[in-house]
Each structure stands twice: as structure tokens, then as C-alpha cells.
Amino acid sequence: MDRRLQETNQEIRFRIDATRCDGQGVCVLIAPEVFQLDRYGLGYVVPGADVTAANPDVRNRALEAGALCPRNAISEQIVQASTAPTEVEDDSVRPAAETPNRLHIGERVESLDERITGGGFADLPADRILDMVRAAHLRGQGGAGFATATKWQLVGREKPVVVLNGSEREPGTVKDRYLLGNRPALVLDGLRLAARAVGAEVAVAAIDAEATEAAAVFRATAEDAASRGLLDELEIRFVEVPPSYVAGEETALLGFIENGRPVPRVRPPFPSEVGLHGRPTLVNNVETLAGVALAAALGPEEYRCVGTSTEPGTGLYTVGPFGGPFELAERPIGYPLRALLAETGYAAARAALVGGYAGALVTAEQFDVRLDNASLRGLGAALGTKSVQVLGAGQCPVRIAAEILEYFAGETADQCPPCSRGLPDMAATLRALENGTSGEISLPEFEQFMSTLFDRGVCRLPDGAARMALSLLRNFEHEVKAHLAHGCPQLRAGVAGH
């Protein structure tokens, strides 16, 4: 090959990219129809594997396996294969008026006695809890959307620990703080069920240090439940998490609990194998645990009667102008974005940031999308934190994207180049685009630069930042081109609120 390259007189263009397999075989355990291990113990996609929408169970498990793999090309193959037109079941979503609130109860606080009366704290054996979670098709609500039953099954049985991740720090997201402060018994019941299902005798409630009122309410409820004998022998320890975005990443959270340093860890090993103090650890988000308790009280069938077939239930959406103020709105998963905005007073929005800071910027023409991961994937978005921040007529999406990237650049653990160098460079590039000082650079060059952060960091922070930046380039192409030519038109015109 070297000799032939030396002899050719043709210009050869190619790109070297990185890929890897963690070699743990988790993908094979979850979706053996799609993944196999080679003789070196590394995973590969079986040629011709059926991952179309006609086979939803296999496809969903394959996507779950892909979520555990640091190489997103696997998921891309699965998504592309599923775009063939096939006949699928009806996924219609009930109107909001026909969907009773399950999570949002206004400003009052649900008492422990109310939760017990509502079916909470039932004495279910571990195997029935896991079967219930699987039958309800519960998924994580912390951002990744991973199947809850699968995550629980992967937890080792040698003195496991359960961690409640209540370190909600992303601007424009307030759902977890609400649940801890207003539905403490519901969240506590979910924590109890998770611990029983995986065989844990110790749980850690890691809550944002600035959520003092919510943390106090949750702690008082836990102490009351323990005094009544409702928590079995479960010991719950409380930890205040510093106001840091990266501390919410599960391995960084475990690091902080252990040694006071919220720094993400290289995986493998995964927390389910080697987590807190070397013990198998299950980390679940606050809303995830609330959903577990709801499914246990309602039963899997009733729980699944709202939402979509693959992502059932309701969700708490944080809705408001970019930067606030915000309100919470409970809607079924799969609810139309346009309907949510109209019902919360934002029908005239020109654009929206969907899924939080690591989500995507979408145009008003794209508001007909449904708020579930399968639908949002086509826009380069995901449900993420279920935050929906709207942009008005005087707000420039380029400036908003630059502001988000500057936020991310200031919130990293500063341990790997994609964050310590890549994010500041990306933020500076967008600021230069806004100010008209980006120089002679084309849109494809911009896109290539933004794409370099994928799969390069220890955690997914740079991936989320890059996804948001790419959504700007792809969904607001005409505006980006206008900025390339002359800088921000609104900035030059002195538009208020720019």
C-alpha cells in the first residue's frame, strides 16, 4: 500500500477518525440479535441484522446497547435502517385536557400518608419490582433515556449501592427540585423500590447544595418513613452536591461523594460493576425514581396508557423564555411541541431550544415535532432534561448558541482537551460569527470543526455541546450564512434584547 501511494500522481483526500469498542460485551447481553463478539472479545454489528421499525423490540434494545457504547455510529446505523416505511402501531397521544396530572400537583406538598393511600410503599418482592419496571417500559429521565429495567439488571449483586442523582444544575431545568420538594414521598418510594430490586442496603441521596428547601423536605420525609418502618433496613445517607454542571454526570457524582472531586471517570468499568467505593452502583435521576413509584402504584398497563408505545408515561417539561422565568407543565411523552407552546403562552415563538443546553435549536417551522426521543432524533435533538426555552423575535439563535457554549466551557472538569480547549474555541468561533469577525470560513468548515468534539471526551459534555452547535448550523443555515457575510443583522441594527 505504501508503494502504491508513493507511485500515484492523483490527489487523495481522506479523513482519519477514531473508533473503539469497550470490549465488555454489554451490547451482546442486551441485543444478541444485533451484536456479536469477535475472537478478541470486541463487539461488532451482525451484518444484515434486522433493526427496522418492523421489529421494534429488537431495534429498541439495539439502541439501548448503542447508548452504552461510546461510539455513536452504531446508533446511527440503527436509526438509518429504521427509516424504511413500515407499518407500525398507532402512537397517537391524548390531548392534555384528557390526561390527568400524575407528577405535578401544584404548590402543595404530598404527605407520606397521602402516598400510602394512593398505593405507595407496597410490599413487593424484588423480582416483581423488576418485572413491573420492565412491563411498564420505564426509561431514565436524566437525559440518556436508557431502559430502566436493563440498567437495573446490569448492577452487580456484591453489596450494591443506589444513588439518587438530585444534582440538577442546568439552567432552565427545575423539575427534579420540584419533585423533591413537592412529591418527596413519591421519589422516596421509588428509591426504596430500586434498592429492593437490586438488593441494596445503602442508598445515597445526592442533592444540589442550593436546593436547600427541597432537600430539607425530602430528608424529613425519609426520616418519617424510616421511623414508621417503611424503608425496610435501607440506610439513606444525604450528600450536598456543589453547584457544578459536570457534578451531575454519574461518574463525576460518584467521585464527589467519594473524595470531594466531581471529575468524570473513564468507562469501563461502568458504575454498575465498579462504582461508589468500588461497589456495584445504580445511579438514577429523581424523575426516573418518581416514575418507578408511579408505575408500581398504577400498574404497568395503566402507566402505559399515556405517552407512546416505546416511551410511555408523562413528563415534567420546564417551559419559558431563554433565561427564564420558567414554569412546569406536565404532558404525555410524545406531545406535540407546538401544542405545548400554545398552551403555555408561547405560540408566537420564532425558535426554541429543546431538550436543554445539550439539546437542539429548532425553528418555528419544526414545531410540529412530537416530544419523544424517536421523533426528535430527526432534528438532531433529544428529550434530554425536557427543558423547552423559547426565542422571541428579537433574539438571535447564533448569540444564544454562543452563550450556551460559553456556559459549557466554564463548567467542565478541565481534565481532557475536548472540554478544556475545544469548548472555549467553539464558543469563541460562534462569538466571532455573531460579531462578523469569523474571517474567510465556509459553512462546511464550520460544521466540520463543530463535529470534531464527538466521542473525544471522558464524559458526554462535549458531545452535547457539539450537538447543540450543529443544530444551529443545520436548522438555521440561512441565518448562519447571513452572519458569515456581515455578522449579526440584529446586532448591526441595534435590536433590543439581542
Q: Is residue 384 part of a domain?
A: yes
Measured distance CA(273)–CA(307) in Å, rounded: 32
Q: Which residue's entry shows cell 426528535?
A: 376
> 403 and 385, same structural domain?
no
Same domain, 155 and 273: yes
- Whole-angstrom distance, CA of residue 190 vs CA of residue 231: 11
Task: Tell me the residue ranges of DSSP E strands in 38-79.
Answer: 43-45
Nearest CA-CA partner of 477 in 377, 366, 403: 366
Report the pLDDT value the prediction gives residue 65, as an integer from 0 to 100.
62
Which set of grid coordinates corresponds to residue 86?
A: 413500515
Domain check: are 362 and 414 in the same one?
A: no
Range of the domain at 54: 12-78
Q: Cα separations (Å) of 358 from 9, 247, 301, 311, 466?
A: 45, 15, 32, 20, 8
> Of 344, 376, 391, which residue sits at a domain end?
391
Digits of tens for pLDDT over the chain (498 positions)?
445 445 555 554 544 444 445 444 556 666 766 766 544 345 666 655 665 555 666 666 676 666 555 444 444 333 333 333 333 344 556 555 566 789 999 999 999 999 999 999 999 999 999 999 999 999 999 877 889 999 999 999 999 999 999 999 899 999 999 999 999 999 999 999 999 999 999 999 999 999 999 999 999 999 999 999 999 899 999 999 999 999 999 999 999 999 999 999 998 899 999 999 999 999 999 999 999 999 999 999 999 999 999 999 999 999 999 999 999 999 999 999 999 999 999 999 999 999 999 999 999 999 999 999 989 988 888 999 999 999 998 899 999 999 999 999 999 998 888 899 999 999 999 999 898 887 767 778 878 887 888 888 889 899 999 999 999 999 999 999 888 887 887 766 555 455
Identify the CATH number of the domain in which residue 25 sits: 3.30.70.20
Domain identity same for 429 and 327? no
Q: Name the pairing type of β-strands 161-166 and 281-285.
A: parallel
What is the reported pLDDT for 1?
43
Question: How far is 395 from 93, CA to CA, in rounded Å?
Answer: 32
| Number of structural domains the chain divides into | 4
What pTM does this model have?
Answer: 0.82
Looking at the structure, do residues 405 and 476 belong to the same domain, yes or no? Answer: yes
Residues 286 and 203 grouped into a single domain: yes
- Domain membership flag for residue 26: yes
User: Which residue type occupies 269?
Assistant: P
Domain check: are 29 and 157 in the same one?
no
Q: What CATH number did the domain enclosing 451 receive? A: 1.20.1440.230
Q: How many CA atoms lie within 13 A of 147 on its CB side?
A: 24
User: Under a CB-based contact definition with an 8 Å cutoff, are residues 145 and 313 in contact?
Assistant: no
Residues 217 and 72 in one domain: no
DSSP H or E stretch at residue 440: none
Q: Which amino acid is at 493?
A: A
pLDDT at 144: 74
| Whether residue 117 is found in the same domain as residue 209 | yes
Q: Is residue 309 part of a domain?
A: no
Q: Are strands 387-391 and 314-321 parallel, antiparallel or unpaired?
A: parallel
Task: For residues 359 and 469, give the distance between their C-alpha atoms in angstroms, rounded to a whole number.
Answer: 9
Residues 6 or more apart from 138 whose CB is under 8 A from it?
147, 148, 149, 288, 291, 292, 295, 312, 313
Helices and strands, counts by H and E, the chain: 22, 11
Residue 106 within any structural domain of the chain: no
87 in any annotated domain: no
CATH number of the domain enclosing 169: 3.40.50.11540
For residue 184, give Cα distances in angstroms to 78, 112, 113, 213, 484: 38, 8, 12, 12, 50
As a whole number of angstroms, the distance between CA 280 and CA 169 comes to 25
Q: What is the pLDDT of residue 36?
A: 62
**Of the residues 255, 278, 304, the one at which a domain ends:** 304
Tell me, what CATH number does 338's domain have? 3.10.20.600
Is 290 found in the same domain as 154? yes
